[in-house]
Amino acid sequence: MGLWYGFTCAVTRLLFRALFNERCHGLENIPKTGGVVIASNHVSFLDPHAVGSVIPRAVFYLARRTLFDREPLGALLRSWNVVPVDLSGKPDISGIKAILGRLERGYAVLLFPEGTRSPDGNFQSAKAGVGLLAAKAGVPVVPARVFNAHKLWPKGQRWPKPGQLDVVYGRPVDYNQMFADARAKGGREAKEVYQKIADDILERIKALRLPTGACETTADAP
């Protein structure tokens, strides 16, 4: 973990604790080493920082490629481990290769299976991309769920407001056998498994709950 990245994460943790009393549950479920996908729900601008800054290892993030066209913003994003990707809906081979490369080199990558922020805090459908990356890289997936972020900073609101923010991390899931079985059948089955993995990841995110004693009435989605 680089000094600048570690410093910015430390500052973010302090801010989130002061503004949102952020509580994290299940951090022990994140592997200390090796490639891993952290897959989270996405309801607010707060999500990447809330999920990633508390993880005690370097995490890579994704952002739309056009943001990197402006300097010094592009250099700053790269210093924060942000990977440029094309979010226009077109196939982004270079972006996929960049993410796979980091997973294969043993890094953690934060992905949002729904692709974009939810406009109302409810879950959206999962995109096949997260399944493709998990299967191709052969790495475990840790589901994560952010609670209450939509109420603190919903899409369309200019600034966040103070309140309680919680993040829950589930146990890692290995999809290697599912992908191997589908690949052995070949053809259409192998391609469909990416969506099946993505759907399973999203269901595991939905199933995460706050620990006993923590108020769950603040959840973003039922």
Work out whether the CA dihedral 101, 102, 108, 110 comes out positive or negative: negative
pLDDT in tens, 50-76: 999 999 999 999 988 888 888 898 898
Contacts of 78 (CB under 8 A, 6+ apart): 68
pLDDT of residue 221: 47
Whether the predicted model's global pTM rises above the 0.85 cut: yes
Residue 141 CA to residue 131 CA, distance in Å, equals 10
Residues of the chain with pLDDT > 90, as a percent, come to 70
Contact predicate 96/84, CB 8 Å = no
Statement: residue 222 has pLDDT above 50? no
Contact predicate 164/218, CB 8 Å = yes
> DSSP letters of 137-172?
HT--EEEEEEESHHHHS-TT-SS------EEEE---
pLDDT in tens, 153-178: 998 899 999 999 999 999 999 999 98
pLDDT of residue 185: 76
Report the CATH superfamily, name and number, of domain 3-207.
Glycerol-3-phosphate (1)-acyltransferase (3.40.1130.10)
pLDDT of residue 66: 85
- Of the two residues 89 and 181, the one the predictor is more confident about is 181
